Amino acid sequence: MRKRSFILIMGLLILVLVGCNTNETEEGSNSEEQAENNPSTSEEENDTLKIGIMPAVDGAPIFVAESEGYFEELGLDLEVTIYSNANNRQSALQTNELDGAMTDLVAVLNNHHNGFETKLVTSTDGSFAFLTQEDFDGEGTKDLGLMEISVSNYLADYYVAPNYDVNKVFINEIPARLEMINTGQLDIGFIPEPAASTGELNGLTKYITVTDDNGSSLQAMVFTTESYQNNHTAIAKFVQGYNKAVEAIQEDHNLALDALLSELDLNPEIRELIHLPDYQLARVPSEDYVNQVISWVEEVQDMELDVDYQEMITSEFLNQ
């Protein structure tokens, strides 16, 4: 009798175990089917990128794409690091701590000439101002604070140098430039938005505001050669999310202002002072425009650049 009871109990246990395994198998199959039908939830489609940007209005579409969930919808995990010093961002890019970075054409050209190749996948949109103290009179030689190998030097030659006797003072740190204008150590400082508006809130005057260069942008998003070769899908998703955010900002520019104030931890009082650019969908600079910048770099740096437009710039991620 005991023997039969033992056999009966064992049989029941086997039936229970088989039933559990069947349910687990069915649940696993359903999960796999759901993942195939929804690529954004599939581990295989979950791409990652690490990028570095400066605390500037260029980053607004990225911040909006993150806050609105556009990158997440596309299956992209994006890690964004904000740098106050462009040299630190450059170092992180060159040591592969970053996959990509927001930079400018002047830096891109110098990098390629010096053997550090990147791929420019889209222009971005910045806004810059030359700040002065309120009593700026324009007489005599003026000390102008900016970064040497950068968009600031290029724009200074086009918008300030033709009108004033300028002595360029090269200072990489944006906060240091602002402080030196405030204390009278600089007469003029080249400052990107929204830092320029912070200076204006503190009593400085925006002398000139520049959002682009005759319709073309000097600002750019680049990715390292290694990332370009290994993370094609991730970069494509980045551009898609970026474009979706630009379209949203074009409908409501408050999205950009909200994102900048939040992500850069800005004083809300500067909201109405910030000069936003006209954000545009992903595009790349023309070869003619790049050649114009090349000519300036060669003249200013007294060198002949060894660069190739096709090697530096790709349009394959556009019009997706």
How far apart CA 175 and CA 193 sit, in angstroms, is 12
- pLDDT value, residue 89: 93
Residue 137 pLDDT grade (very low, low, confident, very high; cuts 50, 70, 90): confident
Please state the domain extents for the chain. 45-127+217-312, 131-210
Confidence at residue 21, expressed as pLDDT on a 0 to 100 scale = 47
User: Helix, strand, or coil here: 112?
Assistant: helix
CATH 3.30.230.10 fits 45-127+217-312, yes or no: no
Q: Which CATH architecture has domain 131-210?
A: 3-Layer(aba) Sandwich (3.40)
Q: What residue ranges in 61-199 does DSSP mark as E strands?
A: 76-82, 100-104, 118-123, 128-132, 141-146, 165-170, 188-192
Each residue of 12-38: pLDDT tens digit?
333 334 444 444 444 444 444 444 444
Name the pairing type of β-strands 141-146 and 118-123.
Answer: unpaired
Is the pTM higher than 0.85?
Answer: no
Question: Residue-wise over 167-178: b if at least 16 C-beta within 10 A, else e?
Answer: ebbebbbbebbb
> Using one digit for the tens of pLDDT, what is the confidence trace for 232-247?
999 999 999 999 999 9
Q: Rounded CA gap, 136 and 259, in Å?
A: 33
Which of 188, 194, 193, 192 has its CA nearest to residue 207?
188
Check for a shared fold between 45-127+217-312 and 131-210.
yes
